[in-house]
Amino acid sequence: MEGGLWNKELLILKFVLLAVAVVKTVHGKGTYVGFYSGTCPRAESIVRSTVESYVRSDPTLAAGILRMHFHDCFVRGCDGSVLIAGSDTERSAGPNRNLRGYEVIDAAKAKLEAVCPGVVSCADILALAARDSVVLSGGLSWQVPTGRRDGRVSIGTEAFTLPGPNDTVAVQNKKFSDKGLNTQDLVILAGGHTIGTAACQSFSDRLYSPNGTDPSIDPSFVPFLRQICPQNQPTKRVALDTGSQFRFDTSYFANLKRRHGILRSDQVLWTDASTRPFVIKYLATGLFNQEFAKSMIKMGNIGVKTDADGEIRTKCSAVN
């Protein structure tokens, strides 16, 4: 009787351990929610308080951090390679020269190194900071799987494979598909443009082309854009989501419907038959918030490095 009970308890223990293992690998590649609960319990709260401190002082940093995470994941995976400084790195490449928020990640890293040296990766800090930036902008929170390690390689030319402001839906779909993301993810993640700005030079050809104004823009919107973006001032910036650049909401999609999309790559999501149904679908705020979290988790596991594949950098701007 006792032997049977012992065997039953062993079977239950094995089942529990197996369940834990499944939970920990559910996101693939070794990341899971609560990765630092034993090794650095304050990790997420330290990142959160750091991001909050900076974003409260400068709300524009929220969009910068979110964009940085996206740019990191789309080149070599979510390994913090975009944070590495140097003349030939991703960080110095043209598509990344306007990225902002490095000081926020560095500040969080310094605080974490003081309490948990060599434990929390820069890649994880960036993923957590992106989530916290969305929350501080009015979006819903989500649980971020952690456990990424930092990459040791950053090559500037590879940044030119990032989605661009003039990409067609077909090109965008190919770039997203190459990363394991689908058309729905494309539209949802583009919705991150509900916060942030774009340089006038990234869409000035839509306003000042020799062939006339881009017909996909609402003609009544053109004078407004030209006032903000005079023809010879390409470095000036305009909100990607007119009237709501600091609020994480669905007005970005409403603006696409009104033909008020700023970037060509955004407006084509409305004009293309394959993406328009998703734009219409995500005009609902609650649904968009839920699906955005899912797509961010999915994107956050692109090319993740774990164990010996990477390292835990002492400073996010340089490999060890």
**Which of 166, 169, 194 has the alpha carbon at shortest distance from 184?**
169
242-258 pLDDT per residue, tens: 999 999 999 999 999 99
Active site includes 71? yes
Domain architecture of the chain: domains with CATH:
43-161+301-309 (1.10.520.10), 169-298 (1.10.420.10)
pLDDT given for residue 21 in this prediction:
42
Each residue of 11-21: pLDDT tens digit?
444 443 433 44
**Mind listing the pLDDT tens digit for each residue in 106-127?**
999 999 999 999 999 999 999 9
- Whether 112 and 120 have beta carbons less than 8 Å apart is answered as yes
Q: What is the pTM of this model?
A: 0.90
Question: Using CA atoms, how far apart are residues 105 and 315, in angstroms rounded to an integer?
Answer: 10
How many Cβ atoms are within 10 Å of 245's Cβ, its own excluded?
A: 21
Question: Which 3 state secondary structure label does DSSP give 95?
Answer: helix
Query: What confidence score (pLDDT) does residue 173 get?
Result: 98
Ramachandran angles phi, psi of 237, nearest 5°: -125, 155
Per-residue model confidence (pLDDT) at position 232: 83
> 21 or 98: which carries more pLDDT confidence?
98
pLDDT at 4 over 70: no
Q: Can you give the three-state secondary structure of 198-237, one letter per residue?
A: EEHHHCCHHHHCCCCCCCCCCHHHHHHHHHHCCCCCCCCE
> Catalytic one among 27, 71, 193, 260?
71
Q: What percent of the chain has pLDDT over 70?
A: 91
- Residue 139 sits at φ, ψ, to 5 deg, of -85, 175
